[in-house]
A and B are shown apart, each in its own frame.
Chain A
């Protein structure tokens, strides 16, 4: 819990995700970290929230602050949940760290009526410029680790992700790209521009198939 008088600082993608979530919804946050998104959703949207987190220390901290979180792995443990168990299955800045992003996305779409996925955009101009200028794997503010230690083993661009959505039969209900300050890019901007100018993106998806 926060100390009294201290204003929480929310992550830009968390605030965008919170706007997409309906009040009182059942939510699963996959890779919930320290639980800040779950806390935000509980505080502002009164959701019935659950989390999965791979790090034991973070899980224990989440449970100690009263959140319903289990220690588990997105690549393995999503299979346990029944179809449509949640209104929203959320994966915030986690998909790039999974071993099998396609399977994870399919599981999200199966267990959630909607899936919300945010990810760092590897197509951002600064990443491209870094690669072009230095000829080395880009290390940026969003992707701060060297290639040999980064947990982000499956990086993608906004265009790549849009293609994965098509491949798994997901319908894109909303897609928002935003910059470091969390400013959304206008919807009038074409996808190519989003892919160039958005540092991160949030997609809300539903499945085209019936589970």
Chain B
């Protein structure tokens, strides 16, 4: 892809816009001759998948772990974010000696198609116009994201992934991988995920998208060309979404009705309450690192996700003949992807007598629990991966932990 004219771009000349076109990570550039056939019927070529790897691929290429990220994640799963400088989004899980042990496994984390950290998305340049894609970018699906990752895995010379593991939208990609590329996934761990997006989840996403599009700076999606940014709209979208990642209990425990740096109410619409101040902070830090159009496209992809629909409306058919070892994980207080929806996945896997473990973890931290310090989650992933690695014939690590 031609990124030489980045300098001529009138758009937001900041570190983030640079990441969209010139990412700090490795990149796979798929040429025009190998287009990606998208679910919408359009073809995408050329396209780029930006990715990070950690650890070393063994000689037999049997120790690769793919970690697809969630809605607002990126490829920096275990290294500092190039824009914010903050630690990787899953450093509690991925790293040397961690449950996904990079001393043992070769971890691959790609930025999703439609993302804004270097993979082709609405903030990338449309090669046919030389301008950012904006809304000319095709609407993509979770299946399209996975198909693009297949090109990356092929390029890395990996036939079968030892494991595909992640949470939330990452978990949807895990399920899509396990259904569409059965023979290429030895083990699969969908965490805090579902096989379809519920009406309530679509509803929340629509609120977020409407907030973005109601911001005049969105400018019909052409804000990058115009050097604008719908910061307020995207911040509101993030604030609303962030509430859904927590739980009532966690919010009450963390903030209660406490006031933020005040002795008494201000009788204004300032952020009197700590919870307001917290949400505003979440909103404003998010817009520093995320592209508004990417937010629209990726939330749409999640809304469209319905694995059973691809298999005659019977979820079990998606897994027919699977030899993959599954470990499904949910959290008690996750009301965005409740345990009930994980159990549906388990029932479908049982219906085809698949090898499945299912763990519900007690936590009051809501959907976000999968990203947080949850010892039981770590123990589950470590135990499951150890047993799977043994079956896969991978050597046992010297360190005992």
Contacts and interface: CB of A to CB of B under 8 A. Distances in A.
A63 interface: yes
Interface string B214-252: 000000000000000000000000000000000000000
B192 interface: no
Interface stretch (B4-12, B123-131, B173-181, B383-391): B383-391
Interface string B340-360: 000000110011110111111
A72 B358 contact: yes
Contacts of A66: 383-384, 386-387, 390
A63 B359 contact: yes
A63 B353 contact: no
B358 to A, nearest CB: 4
B387 A67 contact: yes
Contact of A70 (B325, B356, B361): B356
A103 interface: no
Main secondary structure of the interface of A (DSSP, over half): mixed
Contacts of A70: 328, 346, 350, 356-358
B362 interface: yes
B382 interface: yes
A50 B361 CA distance: 19
B98 to A, nearest CB: 15
A81 interface: yes
Contacts of B382: 64
Given A56-B362, A68-B325, A80-B350, A63 B384 contact: yes
B376 interface: yes
Contact of A60 (B347, B353, B361, B390): B361
Contact of B355 (A62, A64, A68, A81): A68
B274 interface: no
Interface residues on B, range: 20 to 34
Nearest to B353: A85
B79 interface: no
Contacts of A77: 347, 350
Nearest to B385: A66
A59 B328 CA distance: 12
B350 A81 contact: yes
A109 interface: no
A26 B354 CA distance: 11
Contacts of A86: 353
B15 interface: no
Contacts of B314: none
